[in-house]
Amino acid sequence: MKKSTQPCRINFRQNSQEALQNNSLRHAMRYATDTFRDKRFNGIQGVPFEEWRQRASDLKISVLENLSGYGDQFAANATRRGAIIHRAVDAAHARELVGDILHDHGAINVVKAKSMVTEEIHLNKYLDDRGFRVIETDLGEYIVQIAGETPSHILAPALHKTRHQIGKLFCDKLGCDFSDEPHVLTNTARKVLRPEFIKADAGICGANFFVADTGSIVLFTNEGNGRMVTTLPPLLIVVTSIEKALPSIKDLPLFMRLLPRSATGQVLSSYLSIISGDQIPGLPSGSRRLHVILLDNGRSEIADGPHREILKCIRCGACMNVCPVYGTIGGHAYESTYPGPMGVILSTLLNGLERSHPLLDATTLCGACSEVCPVKVPLLKLLYELRERRVEDGYATSMERFGMLGFGLAANSPFFFETGQALAKTLWSLARLLSPVTVNRLPVPTDRTFKRRMS
């Protein structure tokens, strides 16, 4: 997959055609999105979900209205607890900060817990190039890393791989006996990664939230690798983005109820860690040095603009699992860190229309995403607005522009409309010869039009 650091335009159309021809991928995506969707549906039964999501939405909007204020409050409180706070304006700045902190501490072996923000800034490649040895420890991320690939789903990164492929991969790369039993493969990963946690010089993770009034980092995990990464190595670097602020620790229960239910249908993930500052000298729990990097990377600008509500997103993945486009082609076709409906919007805003506008085709405008979003991001409205902006900024294809112009004329004039109908009927066989694939998908124009029937 191409990295999004490349300025070239995303070739979404071709990527999706390729994805459509990959039967095992389509099967895996359909199965996975169906499963996640059912789990979420069952998870929100019997709870006041509508009331919760309204409260969460209101709260996230109040956060967006005072992003820098909550960032400052977090920084002050976390510093008071012994953490060292850094602000990164963009991806390159954040990468350098992480590299320099590791270098200053003489760290070589680094264990990572799953973090979408570090994917966004392409941290692993940068650290590899600087000579650090970085190991992903989330099982799905680990599989994707040793295969030399990128995640296809934000919750289940190795979703596109079958158990047979993973068995073969482990056999080749780790030298173990072949097995395609998930529990055997999981146990192999446990055995291989345990010594890595123990010998690691540093841990790197993201955060689901950070809390302004206590200076805390909040991390939801299921496997336990997040707890290992944040409590075993002597140095911990947390890379998070500025919109993940919550005003108070008392706001946490609401999001503890919303996030796992929306993501996997769980009442709560197996582990939830709240980390406030570094280890007090003499105490055995927690890293001895804690650095937090607050990444902006264009978010302040988005927060001041008309599409700011995308920053309410808490990365549960629910919008992806109900999206008919995502469920058919999977995450790789988007060539972006964040796929699916929220990904289309966020990628377009973060990377610009020039590179990302083809992604705006990745929607049927059905609106299922808006209905499931736990923080009421108006995804459908944002998709509409960005598609309008694509036309205004001149990124629409000439075919689309002239087609729409023609339709506009015809729809405004009964004469043009009827002429158009007659032309379509007359030229249909010719069009069918010229472009059989497209034309055969369309209904054949009829002699008895609606107007004629009514008159």
Q: Does position 320 bind other proteins by CB under 8 A?
A: no
- E-state strands within 375-414: none
Q: Does position 398 bind other proteins by CB under 8 A?
A: no
Q: Does position 278 bind other proteins by CB under 8 A?
A: yes
139 vs 329 by CB, closer to other proteins: 139
Which range binds other proteins by CB under 8 A, 6-14, 127-135, 224-232, 408-416? 224-232
DSSP secondary structure code for residue 250 in this structure = G
Residue type, 275: I
Q: Please report, for residues 243, 324, 385, 388, the alpha-carbon distance to residue 382 in angstroms, rounded to integers and kept in the order given.
A: 18, 18, 5, 10
Q: Does position 28 bind other proteins by CB under 8 A?
A: yes
**Count of alpha carbons within 13 Å of 327, Cβ hemisphere only?**
18
Q: Does position 250 bind other proteins by CB under 8 A?
A: yes
For other proteins, the binding residue among 84, 176, 252, 410 (CB under 8 A) is: 252
Q: Does position 81 bind other proteins by CB under 8 A?
A: yes
Which range binds other proteins by CB under 8 A, 125-133, 191-199, 322-330, 365-373? 191-199
Q: How far is the CB of 55 from other proteins (least distance, A)?
A: 12
**Residues 6+ positions from 401 with CB-CB distance below 8 Å:** 391
Which range binds other proteins by CB under 8 A, 63-71, 185-193, 396-404, 433-441? 185-193
DSSP SS3 for 283: coil
Q: Does position 31 bind other proteins by CB under 8 A?
A: yes
Q: Does position 214 bind other proteins by CB under 8 A?
A: yes
Q: Does position 222 bind other proteins by CB under 8 A?
A: yes
Which range binds other proteins by CB under 8 A, 50-58, 63-71, 181-189, 337-345? 181-189
Beta pairing partners, 239: 293
Q: How far is the CB of 189 from other proteins (least distance, A)?
A: 7
Pairing assessment for the beta strands 202-205 and 216-221 based on DSSP bridges: unpaired
Q: Does position 286 bind other proteins by CB under 8 A?
A: yes
Angle at alpha carbon of residue 322, lines to 340 and 245, rounded to 5°: 60
For other proteins, the binding residue among 119, 120, 136, 223 (CB under 8 A) is: 223
431-450 mask for other proteins (x: CB under 8 A)? --------------------
Q: Does position 284 bind other proteins by CB under 8 A?
A: yes
DSSP secondary structure code for residue 298 in this structure = T
Pairing assessment for the beta strands 202-205 and 235-241 based on DSSP bridges: parallel
137 vs 347 by CB, closer to other proteins: 137
27 vs 103 by CB, closer to other proteins: 27
Q: Does position 20 bind other proteins by CB under 8 A?
A: no
80 vs 452 by CB, closer to other proteins: 80
Residue 142's nearest CA partner among 202, 92, 198, 194 is 194
Residue type, 182: P
Q: Using CA atoms, how far apart are residues 338 and 327, in angstroms rounded to an integer? A: 14
Tokens of 419: 């002429």
Q: Does position 30 bind other proteins by CB under 8 A?
A: no
Do 231 and 287 meet the contact criterion of CB atoms below 8 Å apart? yes
Other CB atoms within a 10 A radius of the CB of residue 32 amount to: 20
265 vs 378 by CB, closer to other proteins: 265
Q: Does position 203 bind other proteins by CB under 8 A?
A: no
256 vs 353 by CB, closer to other proteins: 256
- Tell me how long the chain is: 455
Residues near other proteins (CB under 8 A), total: 65
For other proteins, the binding residue among 11, 22, 35, 449 (CB under 8 A) is: 35
Q: Using CA atoms, how far apart are residues 267 and 273, in angstroms rounded to an integer? A: 16
Q: How far is the CB of 449 from other proteins (least distance, A)?
A: 49
Q: Does position 139 bind other proteins by CB under 8 A?
A: yes
Q: How far is the CB of 336 from other proteins (least distance, A)?
A: 21
Q: Using CA atoms, how far apart are residues 166 and 144, in angstroms rounded to an integer? A: 9
Q: Please report, for residues 112, 144, 245, 292, 358, the alpha-carbon distance to residue 126 in angstroms, rounded to integers and kept in the order given.
A: 14, 17, 27, 18, 27
Q: Does position 272 bind other proteins by CB under 8 A?
A: yes
Q: Using CA atoms, how far apart are residues 351 and 336, in angstroms rounded to an integer? A: 9
Do 204 and 239 meet the contact criterion of CB atoms below 8 Å apart? yes
Scanning 175-251, the segments in alpha helix (DSSP H) are 182-199, 225-231
What angle, 0 to 180 degrees and rounded to 10, lies between the N-to-C axes of helices 182-199 and 139-146? Answer: 90
Give contact residues for other proteins (rule: CB under 8 A).
Answer: 28, 31-32, 35, 81, 137-140, 143, 156-159, 162-163, 166, 182-183, 185-187, 189-190, 193-194, 197-198, 214, 216, 222-225, 227-228, 231-232, 249-250, 252-253, 256-257, 264, 266-280, 282-286
